[in-house]
Chain A
Amino acid sequence: MLASPGTTVDSHCPYCALQCGMSLTRARTDVTAAPEVQPRDFPTNRGGLCQKGWTSAAVLGASDRLVTPLVRGASGELEPVSWDVALDLVASRLAALAAEHGPGSVAVFGGGGLTNEKAYALGKFTRTVLRTPNIDYNGRFCMASAAAGMNRSFGVDRGLPFPLSDVGGAQAVLLLGSNLAETMPPAVQHLAGARAAGGLVVVDPRRSATARLADPASEQPAGGVHLAPVPGTDLAVLLGLLHVVLAEGLADRAYLAERTTGFDDVARSVAGWWPERVESVSGVPATELRRVARLLAAAAPVHGGAGAYVLTGRGVEQSTQGTATVTASINLALALGLPGRVGSGYGAITGQGNGQGGREHGQKADQLPGYRKIDDPAAREHVAAVWGVDPETLPGPGLPAVQLLRSLGTPGGPRALLVHGSNLVVSAPNASSVIERLKSLDLLVVCDFVPSETALLADVVLPVTQWAEEEGTMTSLEGRVIRRRAVVAPPGEARSELWILAELARRLGAPEALAFPTDPAVVFDELARASAGGPADYSGLSHARLDADEASGGPGLFWPVPAAAAGAAAPAAAVGTAAPAEHPGTPRLFLERFATPDGRARMVVVDHVGPSDDVRPGAPFYLVTGRVLQHYQSGAQTHRVAELERLVAEPYVELHPMLGFRIGVPDGARVRLTSSRGRVEAVARWTDAVRPDTVFMPFHWSGIGSVNQVTTDATDPVSGMPEFKVCAVDVTVAPAGAEPVTPPVEPVETLATSGLDKLDRRRPIAKELST
């Protein structure tokens, strides 16, 4: 149900996991016109928005918005067809493939940008209608290592087990591999306390925008310390920090005795990582390691500090030792007595908009709703009962993303792939081999709202709703369940995935009892029941309760939120009778106990080995990848916004002038990066923000400027997460006469609502200047 013209609804930004609060005002004229965006006071963004958020409405009216189903016709081109034709085609092909090659011949790839309802329905559809084990999602590229590490140590994975605003009160924050000043700018507000105390420690091989907040050379007064390890050695830095904490007697012994297991083994394991050895491995001076360890310890409650946080991001997690690095971060936090204490803790900063919710409701290869394990008989029984199917019919665990993509079109591998909310061609590692696998499929179906690079390879493209066109819920980086609200009508024939899945289920002969409701509120209620009793328990929540909480200015609802009645067998019976007190939600986890069987956090021994693709003659430089403020992930959305596109119009490679001189690549020249997997080219930008042994390239582009053509698809042995963040490359001047860097996209001008038309004349941001 849409708001009436001119009215305003409260919703959230379509991009990252910060889920900044914004108000959307529906135009008075056209129901499909983009709404006006205004920031709104919300605990994560406190009234702030970055440029992506301000301009987000432009994507609703993208000039190449998909408005009708497309099927690749005899000509080889994608041609518009009716929904019936498209859905009949997809259903018949899927059914035929399953009949001939078994249900495993169909695979599904989801996304961390889908609403909770869509993610849940997608998992249910895969397990009950397609009955294939082969489902995974792009969260495997972002959150898998953090999830594996937190599950192993804490027994549950909620990225931030505390409200983000808690971080604001900390005296020290150790931020590893996160450039949040660029990836979620309004979050910088929560670092103010640590910066004021000189306690912001940023670990990043680059002097990123976030590192500059801590770097005395860039900011006056200095907010803290920037450690710039050699790429791929963050784990050694963490082991060294823990070594110093123990060597100098700074650990919280009482906490360790009371709340953890495994400390002795971990303590011994870091005895071999003294600071001078860590310096040899990581390039971080031993004196800096000692200083940082003391700074963190001084902020810890045991030493009377005001609190400390250890936070990790993709920079350290997208690694073949990502889970180990998360574990080492947790070990350090535990040694300092931080997790499970108000005002201190460990957390992973989730990236994608619904990166948290997306990993809880069953689109992960090994998982059922409620963050249950698919190989747990009790979990299978519970979820099967909610779905009204025999637990025996549920498939087992499937392949994680990289392995799933590698198996596409291979003998015995899947022959059809359904893609939802993901642009694999740009975002997957070793992208050229992924493109090859996608092309080898019998059937590729892509649901998207714009013709992404992946959609352009598809046999069938289905146009879907986005963001301000749909109702649903998201779960933010802090585990807060929030409402996404519709304010405009979708263009053309775009439909929600909920409808598409229901239609496909019907066409594939799903029994009446196996329901695929299309009302997001109804889907949410079912999701809540399916999650009941699981680690991520939503059973006490409903759209109505979330709306009521928000309307009353409530504190927000953080999972787990179990249903109120102890014997929740018949929740409907509670209506009308004396309603038992509702569970208030759980803003802070672990205050009493960890979610492990014995209630203690597990310290796990890990060791540093190094990156899978290390420098060598022929590839003597490190490549690190990351994001820029103006673009989001594969850029499918942000390249379509004129204001953003003008500021950062093309990919670039940051390199140190010493390297530029050495290889003869002047500032502004075209540079080529070559790895054993492929090559890319982009404009060289000289900067001393990168180490002379390292180059940086953002990953928002396709084609010759797509850095994931070069990155490695080696994966973490525990989490299955690929090592996006470090590989070995050669860096050379690009030969003349090469292909253009960016394919033409026609971006949409932002609505000139309040004199912002001046923004149109801005020139590209070529360099960063501090003030």
Chain B
Amino acid sequence: MNLRVPVKVVVVGFGMVGSRLVDELLRREPEAFDITVLGAEPYEPYNRVLLSDVVAGRTDVAAITMPLPDGARVSVLRGVTATGIDRESRVVTADDGTTHPYDHVVLATGAAARIPPIPGLRTADGGLPAGVHALRTLDDAREIVAATVNAPRVVVVGGGVLGLEAAVGLAGRGLSVTLIHNVPSLMERQLDPEAAAVVRSGLEAQGVAVLPNCLSSEVLVAGGRAVGIRVKGNPDRVPTGDGGAAQRDEVVAARLIIFSVGTIPETGIAAEAGLSTDRGIVVGHDLASPDDPRVHAIGDCAQPPEGSRGLVAEGWDQARRLAEKLVSLVEPVFALVEPVSSLVEPVATPAEPTAHLRLPHDAAQPSMAVRLGALLAGGATTRAQSDRGIDTRGTDVVKVKGGPLSVTTMGVCGPSRPKGATQRAVRLADPAGGRYVEVVVSDGILVGATCVGDPRVAADLTAAYTRRTPVPVDPAFLLLTPVMPTAAPASSPEHMPDDAVVCRCNGVTKGDITESCGAGAHTVEEVARDTRATTGCGSCRDAVCGLVDWLQETKNPVPEPA
């Protein structure tokens, strides 16, 4: 029996973070909320992170469709854009004329691709000319894929994570790709120039022509179609030995141009409702607007105090934290019900949170980052405390989905690395080998890393970073896949130590076999009878055979031909 009046939650935006919030709420309290979701895109929710994989042809478009929320109290309106929030009467209005009353409204409107104001980029109706795309929506990805058929030459503008992924992906499709970046160093938010240079070589090895320190000054359009782009050296930058790039002024022909030069948080609806906005919608640690505790923002549209990197892991962590908060807000309802019912009989025991297949201990299972953060902060594990001390560690791992090009950064890396003495940075630079690894260690814990060109080390570093496992005494060991010197497979039985186990199943060593032959055994069968070697799985039969032959030879040495 549920005596609670469901709390009305309106979620504006049905992207990865909005849908995640719905999922997090339903996992915890499937009955406590009436949820309405307004999604501007007409599609089912999809995994935006994988759009670059769609472009690269690495994934089937159908395979990026995300789960629909399953709950009786959820209604999802797709292709419906929220047009306003009336905070006075607590109603969200939509472009289809519908209105949606709320107790809490969650803005998860995301961010739009930034399109720079350059000549030729806007058509008369304000759209982009044919052949020019951002890479932000499923439509963008589909159109880019369609365009690759008739566009052998592509320009990607923007050498950040997404630009790199698009460039490598399109090069992998066999297209001729030019990557234009406005500053000398690729991925300059995450990488040191030295690391970026290794990445650039990696891109070039994939067939991508890289034009760093360049601005796109004009898109050339013919017959309504983009046909090329004018590229100029960036005058704000001092040329850094790049062949006088600052003087560059050239046209790169391309019938497909992809802009990946950052995003602009979708803050319009919040601003119109009189809420504070800056770069994004301003929220506090509790993800609520300082102007209205019933309005929350998460994901790319939000601007929390700790800042935002535009990574989905951050948005998901915010969705989880907000869900915990909203759930905690409905709990006081029990307190109101309890005294009444306890007078009569305990009829309204609060329903156990229903486990959604596998999430039995939600309260005890905040994300690893928060759990660890809370513990580190003072040994406290309660939800309330973990929510106060926000620690986003583990949500800031950046992995470029670049096919053969492996680039991973996390935590303290590149320009964010302070020069302080408390942190110890150790690096391995191997530009000729396409490799650059740097680890940053503080208090025996890995606090940041950059890894280019070594996927295995990158995977190990990620595990160590997100779990805060103690690092080796010498952090330099983190730069390589740790291996112990092992005995190389013996080239001849002569070099095999006597205690080498030859037959695992029966624990028979070379010494045992030598002894058996010494005592008169001549064949594998006799050795097997004597020692049980080969009588388990039989995998060692060849090895035992070789040993027996060798032992026979050494016993009756064949004279060397003169």
Chain A residues engaging chain B, CB cutoff 8 angstroms: 39, 46-51, 54, 181, 185-189, 209, 213, 217, 220, 230, 243, 246-249, 265, 267-269, 271-272, 274, 276-277, 279-280, 282-288, 320-321, 324, 604-610, 612, 614-618, 620-621, 629-630, 647, 656-659, 661-662, 686-688, 692-693, 717, 754-756, 758-759, 762-763, 765-771
Contact residue among A274, A659, A765 (Cβ-Cβ distance under 8 Å from B49): A274
The reply to whether A771 and B543 form a contact with Cβ atoms under 8 Å apart is yes
Contact segment of B296-304, B371-379, B429-437: B371-379
The reply to whether B469 and A615 form a contact with Cβ atoms under 8 Å apart is yes
The reply to whether B489 and A220 form a contact with Cβ atoms under 8 Å apart is yes
Chain B, 459-502, CB within 8 A of any chain A CB:
459-460, 462-464, 466-473, 477, 482-484, 486-487, 489-490, 496-497, 499-502
The reply to whether A610 and B368 form a contact with Cβ atoms under 8 Å apart is yes
Answer whether residue B266 sits at the interface, using C-beta atoms and an 8 A cutoff.
Answer: no
Contacts of A755 in B (CB 8 A): 529-530
- How far is A268 from B67 in the complex, measured between Cα atoms in Å? 5
The reply to whether A54 and B484 form a contact with Cβ atoms under 8 Å apart is no
Answer whether residue B176 sits at the interface, using C-beta atoms and an 8 A cutoff.
Answer: no
Would you list the 6 A-B pairs with minimal beta carbon distance, nearest first?
A: A247-B59, A283-B463, A188-B537, A688-B484, A185-B505, A285-B455
Answer whether residue B63 sits at the interface, using C-beta atoms and an 8 A cutoff.
Answer: yes
- How far is A44 from B140 in the complex, measured between Cα atoms in Å? 56
Q: Report the nearest A residue to B496, measured CB to CB.
A: A771
Answer whether residue B93 sits at the interface, using C-beta atoms and an 8 A cutoff.
Answer: no
Whether A609 contacts B358 in the complex (CB less than 8 A), given A248-B60, A283-B459, A617-B376, comes out as yes
Count of interface residues, chain B, beta-carbon cutoff 8 Å: 83
- How far is A188 from B535 in the complex, measured between Cα atoms in Å? 12
The reply to whether A771 and B540 form a contact with Cβ atoms under 8 Å apart is yes
Shortest CB-to-CB span from B372 to chain A, Å, is: 6
- How far is A287 from B401 in the complex, measured between Cα atoms in Å? 10
Contacts of B201 in A (CB 8 A): none
Whether A693 contacts B469 in the complex (CB less than 8 A), given A268-B67, A656-B482, comes out as yes
- How far is A271 from B43 in the complex, measured between Cα atoms in Å? 15
Contacts of A246 in B (CB 8 A): 60, 62-63
Contact residue among A50, A54, A277, A616 (Cβ-Cβ distance under 8 Å from B371): A616
Contacts of B482 in A (CB 8 A): 656-658, 688, 692
Whether A280 contacts B399 in the complex (CB less than 8 A), given A661-B473, A686-B484, comes out as yes
The reply to whether B532 and A54 form a contact with Cβ atoms under 8 Å apart is yes
**Interface SS of chain A: helix, strand, loop or mixed?**
loop
Contacts of B458 in A (CB 8 A): 279, 285
Contact residue among A186, A276, A609, A630 (Cβ-Cβ distance under 8 Å from B536): A186
Answer whether residue B504 sits at the interface, using C-beta atoms and an 8 A cutoff.
Answer: yes
- How far is A187 from B537 in the complex, measured between Cα atoms in Å? 7
Contact residue among A272, A286, A661, A767 (Cβ-Cβ distance under 8 Å from B66): A272
Contacts of B313 in A (CB 8 A): 280
- How far is A692 from B505 in the complex, measured between Cα atoms in Å? 27
Contacts of A47 in B (CB 8 A): 535
- How far is A185 from B359 in the complex, measured between Cα atoms in Å? 37
The reply to whether A769 and B530 form a contact with Cβ atoms under 8 Å apart is no
Contacts of A612 in B (CB 8 A): 361
Contact residue among A181, A220, A287, A607 (Cβ-Cβ distance under 8 Å from B357): A607
Q: Besides A48-B505, A49-B532, A271-B65, 8 other CB < 8 A contacts? A: A268-B66, A605-B357, A609-B365, A692-B472, A759-B531, A765-B501, A769-B487, A771-B543
| Residue with the greatest number of chain B CB neighbours at <10 A, chosen from A51, A324, A621, A687 | A51
Contacts of A217 in B (CB 8 A): 483
- How far is A351 from B62 in the complex, measured between Cα atoms in Å? 40
Q: Report the nearest B residue to A325, measured CB to CB.
A: B358
A–B Cβ pairs within 8 angstroms, 22 of them: A54-B535, A181-B537, A189-B537, A189-B539, A248-B58, A268-B68, A271-B50, A271-B65, A274-B50, A320-B360, A606-B357, A612-B361, A615-B468, A618-B375, A620-B467, A620-B470, A658-B472, A661-B472, A762-B507, A768-B504, A769-B497, A771-B500
Contacts of A286 in B (CB 8 A): 399, 401, 455
The reply to whether B46 and A271 form a contact with Cβ atoms under 8 Å apart is yes
The reply to whether A693 and B512 form a contact with Cβ atoms under 8 Å apart is no
Contact residue among A282, A647, A658 (Cβ-Cβ distance under 8 Å from B507): A647
Shortest CB-to-CB span from A527 to chain B, Å, is: 33
- How far is A755 from B507 in the complex, measured between Cα atoms in Å? 16
Q: Report the nearest A residue to B532, measured CB to CB.
A: A54
Q: Report the nearest A residue to B316, measured CB to CB.
A: A272
- How far is A615 from B470 in the complex, measured between Cα atoms in Å? 11
Shortest CB-to-CB span from A593 to chain B, Å, is: 25
Contact residue among A280, A629, A759 (Cβ-Cβ distance under 8 Å from B504): A629
The reply to whether B397 and A49 form a contact with Cβ atoms under 8 Å apart is no
- How far is A48 from B532 in the complex, measured between Cα atoms in Å? 10
The reply to whether B537 and A770 form a contact with Cβ atoms under 8 Å apart is no
The reply to whether B477 and A48 form a contact with Cβ atoms under 8 Å apart is no
Contacts of A269 in B (CB 8 A): 67
The reply to whether A267 and B63 form a contact with Cβ atoms under 8 Å apart is yes
Contacts of B372 in A (CB 8 A): 616-617
The reply to whether B397 and A280 form a contact with Cβ atoms under 8 Å apart is yes
Contacts of B471 in A (CB 8 A): 662
Q: Report the nearest B residue to A770, measured CB to CB.
A: B489
Contacts of A604 in B (CB 8 A): 357
The reply to whether B464 and A48 form a contact with Cβ atoms under 8 Å apart is no
The reply to whether A758 and B399 form a contact with Cβ atoms under 8 Å apart is no
Q: Report the nearest A residue to B67, measured CB to CB.
A: A268
- How far is A609 from B489 in the complex, measured between Cα atoms in Å? 41
Answer whether residue B355 sits at the interface, using C-beta atoms and an 8 A cutoff.
Answer: yes
Answer whether residue B290 sits at the interface, using C-beta atoms and an 8 A cutoff.
Answer: no
| Residue with the greatest number of chain B CB neighbours at <10 A, chosen from A49, A612, A658, A754 | A658
Answer whether residue B209 sits at the interface, using C-beta atoms and an 8 A cutoff.
Answer: no
Q: Report the nearest B residue to A265, measured CB to CB.
A: B67
The reply to whether B355 and A717 form a contact with Cβ atoms under 8 Å apart is yes
- How far is A271 from B19 in the complex, measured between Cα atoms in Å? 13
Contact residue among A615, A662, A687 (Cβ-Cβ distance under 8 Å from B473): A662
